[in-house]
Amino acid sequence: MILARYSRKLFNPVNLNKFYSSYSVPETTSFPRRIFSGIQPTGQIHLGNYLGAIAQWVKLQQDNEDMILSIVDLHSITLPQDPKILSNNILEMTATLLACGIDPSKVILFQQSMVPAHTHLCWCLGCICTMPRLAHLPAYKEKSANLKDISLGLFVYPVLQAADILAYKATHVPVGEDQAQHIQLTQDLARMFNKRYGETFPIPHCIFTGGDYSRLRSLRDPNKKMSKSDPDPKSRICLIDPPDEILKKIKKSVTDFTSEVTYDPENRPGVSNLISIHSFVTGKTISQICDEVKNFNTGQYKLQVADAVISHVGPIQKKISDLLNNQDFLVQVLKGGAEKAGEISEKTLQEVKDKLGLQFKRETVHKQILNL
């Protein structure tokens, strides 16, 4: 779901198994399979986001999965945002998802803040979550390290993320491997609630979607992942970059002093990154590409990669542009999705409130009055 990086040292499956064994409630599979994922409307979607997340959602949609996708705008305001830019970004993200192939008639696509159950359930879950548990998460340490004033929202947003998932009783969550600890927190909270109040939530499982797409590296520093948080915009190829910008970025991408085009990620990460990009956008294997360009030098090859990327993203850009010219349609998509999401999440919330004792049963109230 929303991207964060975690320390492998802290993620010890053996210790987690010992921790989870302390819960006596058995984990059942009685819940129907349902997938939930979310994406923040901040920054521009780059090739890594598109190939590693959105394209994978489209594949799950094509497999007729019961899937719910949310534009998680509440998560985005844990850090300061320009309100006008944020509202535009929400519509742009909606247009991007639709242009990439997400079909709102097949999956539920909605804006998080339109569905009140998320924040209501977040409070309920927050009341069983401890501060040391949240402070232990590396994502919080990373994001707060350079902040003078740390907002409460930044501290508790993993609980809201858990509420996003559990509000729909999702059984599976597509994530990158670096997001595992947030899903583990969701699992913890589901287990704790089930133990205290009876079986209510499934224990959600990760669907790791990064796979080969994690090979996409920064164009300026191939030792780092391509990231939308990188301060250098030349480090990534965004879906909405115009053709001349894509060409310029790829031509200036860092390679090495060997002119031959070969795939060797360890010793030639820059050239290997371009080959990976070329492979992903064309569907050709790495060996096929290397055979085709064996007589090219790296300068010539960069032009071929740029052409392939431009050809791939061109139709997507056209769809995004068309959709942004019809913003009323985008708003209706989000509202329609919110209505569907609200019906599901409200049922979950009512069940939670009932188990917490936050709402009265008429017959119980009647008996209490008679006993006065």
Spans of all domains in the chain = 13-214+326-356, 218-324
Catalytic residue among 106, 195, 228, 234: 228
Is 228 in the active site?
Answer: yes
Which residue is associated with the tokens 């997001």? 179
Beta strand segments in the chain, E: 35-39, 67-71, 108-111, 172-175, 205-208
Quick check: is 249 catalytic? Answer: no
E-strand ranges in 50-159 read: 67-71, 108-111
Task: Say whether 218-324 and 13-214+326-356 share the same fold.
Answer: no
Angle of the 327-356 helix axis to the 298-324 helix axis, nearest 10: 80
Q: Give the architecture-level CATH label for domain 218-324.
A: Orthogonal Bundle (1.10)
DSSP code for 162: H
Instruction: Provide the sign of the torsion angle of the four alpha carbons 312, 315, 321, 324, taken in this order.
Output: negative
Arithmetic mean of pLDDT, 220-232: 89
Mean pLDDT taken over the chain: 87
Q: Would you say the C-alpha torsion 150, 227, 39, 215 has a positive or negative sign?
A: negative
Higher pLDDT, 339 or 28: 339
DSSP state for residue 101 in the 8-state scheme: T
Mark 234-261 as b/e (b = at least 16 C-beta within 10 Å).
bbbbbbbbeeeebbebbeebbbeeeeeb
Catalytic residue among 169, 225, 249, 302: 225
Name the DSSP letter for residue 171: S
Instruction: Tell me which of 6-20, 50-64, 93-107, 235-249 is least confident.
Output: 6-20
Contact in structure between 274 and 296 (CB atoms under 8 Å): no
Helices and strands per DSSP (H, E), number in the chain:
16, 5
In DSSP terms, 111 is beta-bridged to 71
Give the per-residue pLDDT at 24.
39
Statement: residue 186 has pLDDT above 60: yes
Whole-angstrom distance, CA of residue 190 vs CA of residue 194? 6
Give me the pLDDT at residue 28, please: 53
Given this model, what pLDDT does residue 100 score? 96
Give the pLDDT confidence of 269-293 residue by residue, as tens digits: 999 999 999 999 999 999 999 999 9
84 counts as catalytic: no
Catalytic residue among 143, 169, 249, 302: 143
HSE, CB side, 13 Å, CA atoms: give it for residue 99: 26
Burial state string for 338-356 with b = 16 or more CB within 10 A and e = fewer than 16: bebbbebbeebbeebeebe
Q: Which CATH superfamily is domain 13-214+326-356 in?
A: HUPs (3.40.50.620)
Of 43-52, 170-179, 236-245, 350-359, the one with minimum mean pLDDT is 170-179
Q: What pLDDT digit, counting tens, does each position of 307-324 carry?
A: 999 999 999 999 999 999
Using an 8 Å Cβ cutoff, are 269 and 307 in contact? no
The pTM assigned to this predicted structure is 0.85
